[in-house]
Amino acid sequence: MGDSIEQVVDRHARYLEKTFGNPSWQLKLFVERLNNDREAARAEAVIFAWLHQVGKNPKINEKADTGGVDFRCHPEMGGEFLVEVTSFKIDALSSASGLSMNLDPNIGGFFTNVTPELRQRIARKMDQLSGAGQLPRILAIASEHPKVGLVFDRSAVVNLLVSDWKFWTPLSDPSASVRVTDLKNSVFFRRDEANPSLLRPCRRSVSAVLLACIYSHRVEARGVIHPEPAVRLDISVLPEVPLLYLTEWPPRDGILKPAWTLPSDPPFPDHRRVRI
């Protein structure tokens, strides 16, 4: 078992104190966020510790006067990149998905994908990410909902890229069903209005999106790569994260070909407090 979230959060505050001093605006801002927006502060601390644990050497990037993206990472292998963290609150995720907070495995129920809500959250971060300079930018959407894995799984990542799949079956041959998509909720591209057979990139300010499930003792992160971002992310900087990408861009003959950097989920790391 790793450290608890509470231990990670406490160590994050101590890291800020040792790095920037007490008083410092970095520590003050984090404590205020912890008091006023607890889940956002916890997500920030957990993702920072996770980045540190998997060798990305994160540093605080946000500025007191201008704000900016949360972290700047200096991995041992590959180039630097930026990470912005946003929290999908427990209550909001329950409302959007229909997921209950009841953890009894014998109690079932219906839930829905949250692709539209994720797309909206990504869109709201575009202005902030657009001013981040010439480094690749990752947006990490994190949630502590105890059932978050049901809506932040691999299929959710696919839905972010291509929107929710549907099945089309010709009446002449019921066995010839194919998967199709209207791209309504695709976060990275849309149909060209003048020529619907063409796809145009959008939200190019973000290089990749990570969906991070925060559980009591571990983080499970999966991500999707933008096919034509303003600044491209070298996927080799995140070898421990399953990342979805398009093997062809632009797609030929209207066929989208997504693929994963890892064929299956790896062992996900337990929480570890940042060493100071």
What domain count does the chain have?
Answer: 1
Write down the pLDDT at residue 234: 93
**Residue 270 is assigned to a structural domain of this protein:** no
Give the tens place of pLDDT for each residue, 219-274. 999 999 999 999 999 999 999 999 999 999 988 887 889 999 999 999 999 999 99
Write down the pLDDT at residue 70: 96
**Residue 171 is assigned to a structural domain of this protein:** yes
Residue 178: is its pLDDT beyond 90?
no
**Residue 187 is assigned to a structural domain of this protein:** yes
**Residue 266 is assigned to a structural domain of this protein:** no
**Residue 95 is assigned to a structural domain of this protein:** yes
Domain residues for the domain of 129 are: 5-260
- Name the β-bridge partners of 179: 167
Question: Could you tell me the pTM of the whole model?
Answer: 0.92
The pairing of strands 81-87 and 199-201 is unpaired
**Residue 207 is assigned to a structural domain of this protein:** yes
